[in-house]
Chain A
Amino acid sequence: MLATLLRHDWRSLSADASIWVVIGVFAAAIGYGTINGARWVAFQQDAISEARAEERERLERHETAIVRINRENATISAFADPRNPDAVGRSLGARYVVLPPTPLAPLAVGQSDLLPSYFKITTDARETVLAATEIENPHRLLTGRFDLAFVLIYLYPLLILALTYNLLSSEKEQGTLVLALSQPISLRTLVAAKVLLRFTVFLAAVVGLALLASLIIGVDLGAPGVLPRLAFWAAAVAGYGLFWFAAAVAVSALGKPSATNAMVLAGVWLALVVLVPSLLSMAATAIYPVPSRVEMIQATRVASDEANAEGSKLLAQYYEDHPELVTGDAQQAMNDFNLVRVAVAAEVERRVRPVLDRYSQQLTAQQQIVARARFLSPAILMQDALNDIAGTGAARHRAFVQQVEQYHERWRAHFVRLIFEKARLEDYSGLPRFAFEDEETGAVSRRVAGSLAGVAVPTVLLAVFAFVRLRRYPLVG
């Protein structure tokens, strides 16, 4: 019986030109989105390799210069001296730290176009090195880049609704429903078969096309973790699709005319995919506003003016706080510009700290609101899941920033020690190195599973509602 229904439904669907137009448009969107994602990742990788080349070339140049200066016993300004730890830590030896894109990064650009994927590490203050990042991102939430994730979150539901909104109402309106139901078949079976067919066609089309597009842009399926992530990706596409099918069937089950169904479902789409995400981000920023950048810069300036004025006093204090750094003649050290600078920088940071803390507290509070309220919209959950799978989400970036902060601390401690020891660098092999420790697959899976569960719950509720309500579907009148 199911086979009969499926065969017939496919026959009627495929005899209608509209499904081919829909699938054609969709295929084009998927292809375009995937290529866009791939272009973005390529752009990122170019930037990363340019940065790395620049770093390698610069370090080599300065190391060569060290050899030359030593050989010629040349005099050189302290700022440009590649042996001076202050100059090296501040600029000459600066290193780039990189968040490498995962093999599946082209599938979802996510926030990677707003959150920097590399930083240049120097001994400057942390907030200078890591230009503070905000979660608020209404542009992405409202429109976003035209990547595969965009196609899946925005267009995929529309296409599902386009083929499902009149699932029953059209048959009722054209009069075929009564003839079908005068046969020994229940309305629920009929609906289930229709949904099953459309779902299978869509899932096969989406997953097939996206896989094809990924292979064309050169995603390495053999890379570690790619296949399980792709499985999660397919599960996300299936789960999100089912939500929209459930919504369409639930609305259909009310027995309203096709036009009403279309209006209601368009409204649901607009609310869940467009309004809730942007309202949520507006609410988060309204409830927990971050201090303005101007205020932060102002505070930094005032603090550094005051600290500079107290230069030597601060150094004395710094020595008190860091007795381990006391070496040799303290009086002479008091006049050492480099040392004073370290002490002043530490003081500036201490004074700016409260502003920065408030900033990050507010950001954390915003993130917590969004983390809870995201369950209001399957679109946000889907975006989170896709970003997590592609490694372009906020969580992975936070982990990266945390590691960068630790590295920055190490970097500074390393140079402060060298500065106080008045060491001279003969080569750069001892500079601290950075390697990003990627998240465990388990952590990613748990987050994705959480998001998908958030989509599954309303799906089940809608399906149950539809199932119950179909019993009372008005066939006549």
Chain B
Amino acid sequence: MLEAVHLTKHYNGVTALEDLTLRVNPGDVFCLLGANGAGKTTTINLFLNFVQPSSGTARINGLDVTEQSLETKKYLAYIPETVMLYKNLTGLENLEYFSALAGRSDCTRVQLLDFLKQVGLQPEAADQRVGTYSKGMRQKVGIAIALAKNARALLLDEPTSGLDPKAANEFSALLARLSQDGVAVLMATHDLFRAKESGTRVGIMRQGKLVRTLETTEVGHADLERIYLEHMHD
């Protein structure tokens, strides 16, 4: 579903991502681990076609994202590290707008409210201006936007940072459900625990390179941490 082939990105001579080859199949939850600047966000931005690759290709559903940018975005949902919404509008209005952009202008108010309920937003918050929301609440609206889109691939850039443990847990449950539904998930995260918990595979990145890929079923929490730190140290 998501596929990177020899994907490389240089910024003014600095290598942000080097020769990444990666495949995330439907139902996979692939977690990218790594320090800041390891190339996780660059990978996601390349899939979103927000930055142009220096070489290699990123494909979504078999389509090159640079050539068929708009088409590929139909299959794609994205939740950034900090979901920013239109402050003057309510959560519901934001959800309605982004869903309409996603092609779901047919969603009724009841359906939209249901999405917000699924992600655990307090019912009374739906009609409040987003300006009054906490980061966690905005994050939930972001997840609702992704749910409403009914996307087949999900790009997540540290989506749980700033969520309280309960919300993070609910989010993991949601990911598991999406994974069962056959959604391909690519998630950048610092959270080893969450990666082990929700991921089917993890990839460890360092200085723009994918240095290790593991099946989460193969390793325990402690092993994963040890392996991660080994790669960070050498």
Do A and B make up one complex?
yes
B219 proximal to A (CB < 8 A) = no
Q: Which of B70-103 contact A (CB under 8 A)?
A: 70-71, 73-74, 76-78, 80, 82-89, 93, 97-98, 100-103
B45 proximal to A (CB < 8 A) = yes
**A184-B73, A186-B70 are contacts. A179–B145 as well, Cβ < 8 Å?**
yes
Partner of B98, one of A1, A16, A180: A180
Q: Which residue of B lies closest to A173 (CB)?
A: B84
Q: By CB atoms of chain B within 10 A, which of A176, A184, A185 has the most?
A: A184
Residues on B facing A (Cβ under 8 Å): 11, 45, 48, 50-51, 69-71, 73-74, 76-78, 80, 82-89, 93, 97-98, 100-103, 105, 142, 145, 149, 155
How far apart are B175's CB and chain A's nearest CB, in angstroms?
18
Q: Which of A7-15, A127-135, A315-323 contacts B (4 or more CB under 8 A)?
A: A7-15
Q: Which residue of B lies closest to A175 (CB)?
A: B84
How far apart are A24's CB and chain B's nearest CB, in angstroms?
18
Give per-residue flags for A1-37: 1 if the beta carbon is below 8 A from chain B beta carbons, else 0.
Answer: 1001100100110011000000000000000000000
Q: Which residue of A lies closest to B101 (CB)?
A: A183
User: Chain B residues near A178 (CB, 8 Å)?
Assistant: 48, 50, 78, 80
- In the complex, are the beta carbons of A179 and B82 less than 8 A apart? no
- In the complex, are the beta carbons of B88 and A176 less than 8 A apart? no
User: Chain B residues near A176 (CB, 8 Å)?
Assistant: 84-86
- In the complex, are the beta carbons of A175 and B80 less than 8 A apart? yes
Q: Which residue of A lies closest to B51 (CB)?
A: A476
Residues on A facing B (Cβ under 8 Å): 1, 4-5, 8, 11-12, 15-16, 174-176, 178-186, 475-477
Q: Which residue of A lies closest to B149 (CB)?
A: A183
How far apart are A167's CB and chain B's nearest CB, in angstroms?
14
Q: Which residue of A lies closest to B155 (CB)?
A: A182
**A4-B100, A175-B82 are contacts. A184–B50 as well, Cβ < 8 Å?**
no
How far apart are B89's CB and chain A's nearest CB, in angstroms?
6
Partner of A16, one of B78, B83, B84, B88: B88
- In the complex, are the beta carbons of B142 and A8 less than 8 A apart? no
Instruction: Contacts A11-B88, A179-B98, A180-B98 known; list 11 others, CB within 8 Å.
Output: A1-B101, A11-B93, A12-B86, A12-B89, A176-B86, A178-B50, A181-B48, A181-B50, A182-B76, A183-B102, A476-B45
How far apart are B76's CB and chain A's nearest CB, in angstroms?
7
User: Chain B residues near A185 (CB, 8 Å)?
Assistant: 70, 73, 101
Partner of A184, one of B74, B88, B97: B74
- In the complex, are the beta carbons of B84 and A184 less than 8 A apart? no
User: Chain A residues near B155 (CB, 8 Å)?
Assistant: 182
How far apart are A123's CB and chain B's nearest CB, in angstroms?
73
Q: Which residue of A lies closest to B73 (CB)?
A: A184
- In the complex, are the beta carbons of A179 and B83 less than 8 A apart? yes
Report Cα–Cα, A174/B87, bound state, in Å. Answer: 9
- In the complex, are the beta carbons of B101 and A180 less than 8 A apart? yes
- In the complex, are the beta carbons of B88 and A179 less than 8 A apart? no
- In the complex, are the beta carbons of A179 and B48 less than 8 A apart? no
**A174-B84, A178-B50, A476-B45 are contacts. A15–B74 as well, Cβ < 8 Å?**
no
User: Chain A residues near B145 (CB, 8 Å)?
Assistant: 179
User: Chain A residues near B101 (CB, 8 Å)?
Assistant: 1, 4-5, 180, 183-185
User: Chain B residues near A174 (CB, 8 Å)?
Assistant: 84, 87
- In the complex, are the beta carbons of A184 and B102 less than 8 A apart? yes
23 contacts between A and B (CB under 8 A): A4-B101, A4-B105, A8-B97, A11-B88, A174-B84, A175-B80, A175-B83, A175-B84, A176-B84, A176-B85, A178-B48, A178-B50, A178-B78, A179-B83, A181-B48, A181-B50, A182-B48, A183-B149, A184-B70, A184-B102, A475-B45, A476-B45, A476-B51
